Structure 1
Amino acid sequence: MLSKEDNRRLAQLERQLQRDDPEFCARMGGGNFSVSATGRPPLPLFIIAAVLAVISVVFGLVGWWVAGSLVAAWSVATAIASAVRWRRYRNH
């Protein structure tokens, strides 16, 4: 935990950096994680989610229920991540 003086000094350094190099601050600010450097939507995540969904169905048909359910959960997590990134991409 920082002291009051340390917090004040850190805030001062942040303001100075914002004035000196706003482009750097925008890149490092954490707001551009959803959009790639080229400005394209997260299509590879959608493709990965679709492939994982097909693999989980195949595992289920073969009878490997545990593997199928694990891959299905992975597919759902990837689909959710891609939907969140797509939403952020559309808002920019």
Structure 2
Amino acid sequence: MLSKEDNRRLAQLERQLHREDPDFCARMGGGNFSVSATGRPALPLFVTAAVIAVAAVVLALAGWGIPATVVSVWAAVTATAAGFRMWKARNRSRI
């Protein structure tokens, strides 16, 4: 485990490398720094959450309360995961 000073120095070296040789960083880092650690952007998760939310509304309108509740919780979890992934990617790009 690195000390605080070592972490600070490592972060400083990373920022300097990003400024001096962004092509090298793109090759070593997989290219796009605006995506999450898994390499997938958050937008498809938001679309998936919206589709699941629409399904929950349809189930609720059909009178199926319990399945609508389960599906709406599923949509909320998916939207939360997308938000977390976007937040993580945004913080990673600030290096």
Shorter-normalised TM range: 0.5 to 0.7
Supply the distance in 2 between the matched residues of 1:90 and 1:35 (Cα, whole angstroms): 11
1:9-37 Cα offsets, whole Å, 9 max, x none, are xxxxxxxxxxxxxxxxx98xxxxx93443
Which has the bigger relative contact order, CA under 8 A and spacing at least 6? 2
Q: Which residue, out of 30, 36, 56, partners 1:34?
A: 36
CA contact (8 A) 1:35 1:41 kept: no
Count of equivalent residues: 61
1:15 maps to which residue? Answer: none
The letter for the 1-side match of 2:65 is W
Residue segments in structure 2 that go unaligned for 5+ positions in a row: 1-27, 30-34
1:42-83 Cα offsets, whole Å, 9 max, x none, are 111101100000000000000011110000000000010000
- CA RMSD after TM alignment: 2.4
The letter for the 2-side match of 1:34 is S
* Higher Rg of the two aligned structures: 1
TM-score, normalization by structure 2? 0.56
1:80 maps to which residue? Answer: 80
Supply the distance in 1 between the matched residues of 2:37 and 2:54 (Cα, whole angstroms): 27
Residue segments in structure 1 that go unaligned for 5+ positions in a row: 1-25, 28-32
